[in-house]
Chain A
Amino acid sequence: MAAMTDVNVAPSDRQTRARQLHWALVGALLLACGASLQVGATDVTLTSLIAKLVQGQALSQMERVVLFDIRLPRLAMGVFVGAALAVSGAAMQGLFRNPLADPGIVGVGAGAGLGAILAIVLGTLLPAWVIDMTGNQLTPFAAFLGGWGSTILLYRVSTRHGRTSVATMLLAGIALGALAGALSGILVYIADDRQLRDLTFWGLGSLAGASWGKVLAAGPMIALAIGTALMLGRGLNGLALGEATAAHIGIDVQRMKSIAILSVAGATGAAVAVSGGIGFIGIVVPHLLRLASGPDHRTLLLNSALLGATLLILADVIARVVIAPAELPIGIVTAVLGAPIFLWILLKRRGLVE
């Protein structure tokens, strides 16, 4: 909390540092993208692709499929999902003025989970034309509707006379999360063992199902939501001083809350829909950046997008390379990497480690 009150300290070298950090993050993202295209279970590499292009040779079908149908859509999805999770985490932490807030607080995760479980367990009961229409995308679509729907419901519950109570939202979020969890539990009970295994893998998260179709479905939604969230920097800085103060310095607090919640719901809803449950990016990334460059949301939000995308891509590379030709669910990798980092941040803040 202490870090978040430090808004007005802006010596000129801080701006230089912020700029340096920003470009370092851009560089790291580009490197991560290169690594993601370079390595994988097959020995197809980005460098060999470039060498062939320079020499004017044609690519083999294997190389084309691996690079353009597997790794590129996967990379694009990783960038979108990682950025969405990290920006949403930063926005929620600013909005709730609580460093532990994450999109899960507004019920996106529980709602999306319920949607996915509904699709996996009861999807087979739908008329054939519905299944045909959605192709393989019934589960992601239902997850998105579930995440988005539960967030809107929560928002309506906690808004009275045009004012949203953040405290009510927190409490109602816990209640709705528990309700969604209970409904999911009922569905788990009627699921057969095959569906249960699908549920487990969905819950662990993965970018393995990446396709251009999913990128096109989720990408624009995520880009729009992130773009909107990036404009909240000044407002969230003001809000760090308290709602009354923020209103006094000319910030439309209610409008900002609405925008923040809608963009978080859009970004995380779409991200969870295409990738399942991926933890820790939303909570760790903003913390790392606050340690490195302070709590100014004008830079924090954009940098979160960059670092979130970078870390998720690297986690994905690890997920698909460590036990190749099999692969780990990425949620496991982010948790294994994220939890120790988070602990380290906590210890650091309390001065227990240097």
Chain B
Amino acid sequence: MTSRRTPKPATMGLMTAMFGAFVALTVSAQQSADIQNPHADVLSIGGSVTEIVVALGQQHRLKARDTTSTYPPDVTNLPDVGYMRALSPEGVLSVGPSLILSEEGAGPPEALDVIRAANVNFVEVPDAFTTEGILQKIEIVGDALGVPERADGLAAEIETAMATALADTDRPDSEKKRVLFVLSTQGGRINASGSGTAADALIRMAGGVNAVTEFEGYKQITDEAVGLAAPDVILTMDRGGDHGASDDELFAMPAIKLTPAAQTRSSIRMDGLLMLGFGPRTAEVIRSLNAALYGDGA
């Protein structure tokens, strides 16, 4: 039974090594987290809220952002406090915000309780996939940042842009193309958008018809349901680079093969935040989706 005692130094050695690794990680992480900007103290959470802050000319006040805030590209240089639904209270406090502007749904709730207790003002901005929804976001962000006049100006601009875009892109029901928004094709199974989503709203605004409205939200749908939905066009998120399924792969999928979209090889790829974050760029994306659907001259 003596054999059991020999590994003990090794066990201790392993633990020492783990502890050493952890100290090293700790030190390096603390060094990298110090990016100073003395006049800024706003933390923006949610891609569309961040875009609005920038559109209001308040980018200089941003101190940090969340993972979903990727536009304009400059903001990605700011420290990232993590995914909006899994915030760490100390991580958020460490960037020293006095105001947190957040899209609806940030969390976890316990983290927000602690953050509020530390005297940080937390403003939640509701998300709604309509023109009024965008205008309301702008108004709330403008009030919170103390620039209501700028917000009024931006809102008026966007209201006009949206109204014009919606008027320009509308067309008779008989001409509207059926669009299937595919969130992912993991493992050959199609996760599509039903009604009530940002994708559904965008498709309608751009003068198309959502091909699946039998369910709400994003769900995996069966191959046969895709056939029944008979989309004329497949709309997907462009994940940057070539990570998404190529057209060849997409149109070779059994579910999609027999749809009108596959026969005409019609697919549209767009940036996810641009499409689904209802913010300052939505009028623009309505136009470009409409152009992609019907061709520039139509």
| Interfacial residues, chain A to chain B (CB-CB below 8 A) | 3, 6, 9, 17, 28, 39-43, 61-62, 65-66, 69-71, 136, 189, 192-194, 197-198, 201, 206, 208-211, 214, 288, 291-292, 294, 314, 317-318, 320-327, 329, 337, 341, 344, 348, 354
Question: From A201, which residue of chain B is reached at the shortest CB distance?
Answer: B86
**B113: interface (CB < 8 Å):** yes
Decide yes or no whether B4 CB sits under 8 A from chain A: yes
**Which stretch in B47-55, B103-111, B285-293 binds the other chain?**
B103-111
Contacting pair A66 B90 (CB below 8 A): yes
Q: Is the CB of B1 within 8 A of A9?
A: yes
The residue from B5, B108, B217 contacting A208, defined by CB atoms under 8 A apart: B108
Contacts of B7 in A (CB 8 A): 291-292, 348
**Minimum Cβ distance to chain A for residue B206 (Å):** 21
Interface of A is mostly: helix
**A–B complex contacts, Cβ < 8 Å, 19 sampled:** A39-B26, A41-B33, A61-B118, A62-B118, A136-B109, A192-B217, A198-B85, A208-B110, A211-B110, A294-B4, A324-B29, A324-B33, A325-B82, A325-B94, A326-B81, A326-B82, A326-B83, A327-B82, A327-B86
Assess the A189–B80 pair: CB atoms within 8 A. no
Q: A209-B110, A321-B29 are in contact. Are A189 and B219 (CB under 8 A)?
A: yes
In the bound complex, do residue A288 and residue B19 qualify as a contact, i.e. CB atoms below 8 Å apart? Answer: no
Binds A, one of B8-16, B132-140, B233-241: B8-16
Interface string of B53-85 (1 = CB under 8 A from A): 000000000001001000000000001111101
Q: Is A40 within 8 A of B86, CB to CB?
A: no
Give the A-B contact count at a CB cut-off of 8 A. Answer: 139
Q: Known contacts A6-B1, A337-B18, A348-B7: does B91 contact A327 (CB below 8 Å)? A: yes
Distance in Å from the Cβ of A51 to the closest Cβ of chain B?
Answer: 18
**Once the chains bind, are B93 and A41 in contact (CB under 8 Å)?**
yes
The reply to whether B29 and A323 form a contact with Cβ atoms under 8 Å apart is yes
Which listed residue, B64, B80, B86, touches A206 by the CB 8 Å rule? B86
Is the pair A211, B80 in contact by a Cβ cutoff of 8 Å? no
| B82 nearest in chain A by CB position | A326
Complex contact B81–A42 (CB within 8 A): no
Complex contact A209–B111 (CB within 8 A): yes
User: What is the minimal beta-carbon distance from B131 to any residue of chain A, in angstroms?
Assistant: 23
| Other-chain contact of B30, A189, A292, A324 (Cβ < 8 Å) | A324
How far is it, in angstroms, between the C-alpha of A197 and the C-alpha of B218 when the chains are bound?
12
Decide: B110 and A214 in contact? CB cutoff 8 A. yes
- On whether the beta carbons of A40 and B90 are closer than 8 Å, the reply is yes
